[in-house]
Amino acid sequence: MKTINKTFLAMMMASFLFIPGHGMAKDRPKVAVLIAFDDSGSWQESSKEADQMKVAFIKQLLNLKKRRKTRHAQIDFISTSTGGSELTLEPMLLAENWNAIEPLIKGKPNRCNNLVKAFQTIRSAILEYDQEGMEEIYIYIFSSLINLPAPCDKNNHLFLPQKPPVVDLDQNGTNDLQEILTRSSKVKTVLIYGVKGEQFDGWYELLFPKQWVQKNPENIFRMKIFSKTNLALRDGLFIRR
């Protein structure tokens, strides 16, 4: 009888050690958050206010560490000026890395705005997370949606509205911007904030994923001009429970 009790106890202890969230095991990330932040000079005289809105939004991400589902989320910070991924963190590390994040997202008056490369980087990240088995992907874009290709010092007299740039992923002569954001079934929310007023109509017509929203009413797509972004920020991140 004593032998049976010892064996049973050993089995119970072994099973407990392998329960996710106990012992040394770490929960596998289930959520990816992609943030493309416009750190160029495209907002011009509104740059300071834009920076304040970006900071206010990113501080909302601190709440992700309070939820089991999102505490190990992968948060990618993508720059629209460089077009590349600048930093990847989990919610638990946001506060201690704030001194690195804040200057990263702020606008730089002399920087160009490479929206083509930024959207390509978003697409690459979606594909990578899809292949890794990420369950949900959330996309947030803070941008004027004014493309300023290098050398941008010669673009001081841009005429708006400016047509969205062509991002042809398959080299078939089509603009795949909408496909980039919604091709994966893992994408659940797309929020685009801070859009220059003159840019809104052209980009909305191109990006609004009617079939994606109709297919699943829980999918969220929102696009707001600059003057309405502060109010929209109060609605939160739209990350599913």
**Is residue 23 in a domain?**
no
pLDDT computed for residue 45 by the predictor: 79
Task: Read off the DSSP letter of residue 148.
Answer: B
By the 8 A CB rule, do 158 and 145 touch?
Answer: no
DSSP class per residue in 177-191: HHHHHHSSTTEEEEE
Taking the chain (241 residues) in runs of 10, the rounded mean pLDDT of each run is 47 44 61 96 87 92 93 96 96 93 89 94 95 96 93 72 88 85 94 96 94 93 96 95 88
pLDDT computed for residue 149 by the predictor: 84
pLDDT in tens, 125-177: 999 999 999 999 999 999 999 999 888 765 556 789 999 999 888 777 788 89
Q: Does residue 95 sit in helix, strand or coil?
A: helix
By the 8 A CB rule, do 184 and 130 touch?
Answer: yes
Q: Provide the b/e sequence for 36-67 (b: ≥16 CB within 10 Å).
A: bbbbbbbbeebbeebbebbeebbeebeebbee
**Is residue 211 in a domain?**
yes
**Is residue 100 in a domain?**
yes
pLDDT computed for residue 5 by the predictor: 54
**Is residue 170 in a domain?**
yes
pLDDT computed for residue 172 by the predictor: 78
Model-level pTM? 0.86
Total count of domains within the chain: 1
CATH number at residue 68: 3.40.50.410
Distance, CA of 110 to CA of 23 (rounded, Å): 50
**Is residue 8 in a domain?**
no
Q: Which domain holds residue 228?
A: 29-233
